[in-house]
């Protein structure tokens, strides 16, 4: 079957580990292929799987990476820079927590950490080009998110300045991506300053409408916010360049709602689930994406507090494959039509 949307793909970050086959690129792509995956999204922040510094400098290394994947029967879908993108913009409230994403020589030094993150982002653009990729996925980071709920009332100009600063930090990076023929699909995600459609618009405006600022569409984050994730596609389909296929459920009760009461994942009203176990309307999503011409990858991102990663991955490939749509080559009612006849048209209209 020839489908418009490519898949199934799988994001490797949640499956990497210290034991074979999950501790090397060769091992993990072989495992993914054995489950039926056709594409792999590679985390550039996991040295067990990928050396970003080397990839930015060596075409030979990139060719080796492509060869390992090809030998296993999979294609690289995108490079992920989620953790590095997060560190491009960090509010001081998160300094200690997000130091965990930085190398040791940057910990405790926010300016040095940010410079490292920007350098990593730039290297990922070059590495993507060397790998023959035109899309990548990342986070925007967050300066304003601690002030999400306005109590006490936010001072005038705080949000505007936060997004202006995001624009100042990201626009040169986006320019570099454009120079290398690559776009960034930002995962719109609570914890980032860009967490819904309104904030994405603010971000794009702050970056001067930059053509390289795109969306990694993940409906799970929208369901947990009670946002209309199908209408989101209607609004922003021309900016969607990547797709994380991740399920979620929202079960509010008398004790908790969207904010989930600081509970553990398993006890939250809103929680991520393995594909098919949640409430996301994937039939509607695949239909809309196909309708609007999305032709890149559908990539499983597994995050579930109930089901094991191994079972989630095994079930994910056939789930995605079962939702791929073969776009029609002709209209369903073509059989009832005929050649254009101007005289007949005028007669039918009484002209």
**pTM greater than the 0.85 cutoff:** yes
List pLDDT tens digits, range 36-50: 999 999 999 999 999
**Cβ neighbourhood burial of 80 (10 Å; 0-12, 13-18, 19+):** buried
pLDDT of the residue at 334: 66
Residue 76 lies in a domain: yes
Nearest Cα to Cα of residue 275 among 305, 251, 249, 246? 246
Range of the domain at 271: 6-348
The long-range contacts involving 20-29, CB below 8 angstroms and separated by at least 24 positions, are 23/48, 24/48, 24/49, 25/49, 25/50, 25/65, 25/68, 25/69, 26/68, 26/72, 29/68, 29/69, 29/72, 29/74
**Closest C-alpha among 49, 80, 47 to residue 297:** 80
In percent, the amount of the chain with pLDDT more than 90 equals 95
Question: Mean pLDDT per segment of 10 residues, for the chain of length 351 residues?
Answer: 88 97 98 98 98 98 98 98 98 97 97 98 98 98 96 96 98 98 98 98 98 98 98 98 98 97 97 98 98 97 96 98 87 69 94 94
CATH number (domain holding residue 243): 3.20.20.150
pLDDT at 260: 95
Task: Provide the pLDDT for residue 3.
Answer: 78
Return d(Cα 160, Cα 162) in angstroms, integer: 5
List pLDDT tens digits, range 216-231. 999 999 999 999 999 9
* Alpha helices for the chain (secondary structure H): 25-34, 52-57, 59-72, 82-86, 95-98, 110-130, 158-179, 197-206, 219-225, 229-236, 282-291, 309-323, 342-348
Asked, for residue 109, whether it belongs to a domain, the answer is yes
Neighbours of 175 (CB within 10 A): 15
CB 43 within 8 A of CB 50: yes
- Cα angle 105-110-115, degrees, rounded to a multiple of 5: 75
pLDDT tens column, 255-306: 999 999 999 999 999 999 999 999 999 999 999 999 999 999 999 999 999 9
Q: What is the model's pLDDT at position 201?
A: 98
The number of distinct structural domains making up the chain is 1
How much is the pLDDT for 10? 98
Backbone angles phi, psi at 276, to 5 degrees: 90, -10
Instruction: State residue 227's pLDDT score.
Output: 98
Q: Are 47 and 103 in contact (CB under 8 A)?
A: no
| pLDDT of 231 | 98
Please indicate, yes or no, if residue 131 is contained in any of the structural domains. Answer: yes
């Amino acid at each position: 079957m020839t489908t418009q949307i490519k898949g199934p793909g799988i994001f490797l970050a949640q499956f990497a580990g210290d034991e074979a086959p999950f501790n090397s690129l060769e091992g993990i792509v072989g495992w993914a292929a054995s489950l039926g995956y056709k594409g792999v999204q590679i985390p550039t922040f996991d040295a067990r799987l990928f050396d970003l510094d080397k990839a930015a400098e060596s075409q030979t290394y990139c060719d080796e990476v492509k060869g390992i994947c090809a030998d296993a029967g999979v294609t690289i879908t995108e490079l992920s820079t989620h953790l590095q993108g997060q560190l491009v913009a960090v509010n001081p409230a998160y300094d200690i927590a997000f130091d965990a994403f930085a190398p040791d020589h940057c910990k405790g030094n926010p300016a040095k950490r940010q410079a490292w993150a920007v350098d990593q982002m730039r290297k990922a653009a070059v590495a993507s080009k060397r790998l023959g990729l035109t899309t990548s996925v990342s986070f925007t980071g967050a300066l304003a998110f601690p002030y999400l709920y306005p109590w006490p009332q936010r001072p005038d100009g705080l949000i505007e300045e936060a997004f202006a600063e995001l624009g100042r930090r990201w626009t040169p990076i986006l320019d570099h991506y454009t120079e290398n023929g690559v776009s960034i699909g930002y995962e719109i995600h609570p914890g980032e300053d860009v967490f819904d459609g309104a904030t994405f618009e603010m971000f794009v405006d702050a970056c001067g409408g930059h053509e390289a600022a795109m969306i990694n569409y993940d409906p799970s984050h929208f369901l947990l916010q009670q946002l209309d994730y199908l209408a989101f596609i209607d609004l922003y389909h021309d900016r969607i360049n990547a797709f994380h296929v991740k399920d979620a459920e929202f079960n509010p009760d008398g004790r908790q709602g969207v904010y989930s009461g600081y509970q553990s994942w398993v006890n939250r009203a809103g929680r991520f689930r393995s594909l098919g176990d949640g409430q996301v309307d994937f039939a509607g999503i695949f239909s809309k994406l196909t309708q609007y011409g999305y032709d890149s990858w559908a990539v499983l991102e597994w995050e579930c507090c109930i089901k094991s990663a191994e079972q989630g991955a095994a079930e994910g490939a056939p789930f995605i494959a079962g939702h791929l749509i073969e776009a029609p080559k002709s209209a369903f009612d073509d059989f009832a039509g005929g050649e254009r006849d101007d005289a007949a048209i005028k007669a039918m209209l009484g002209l």
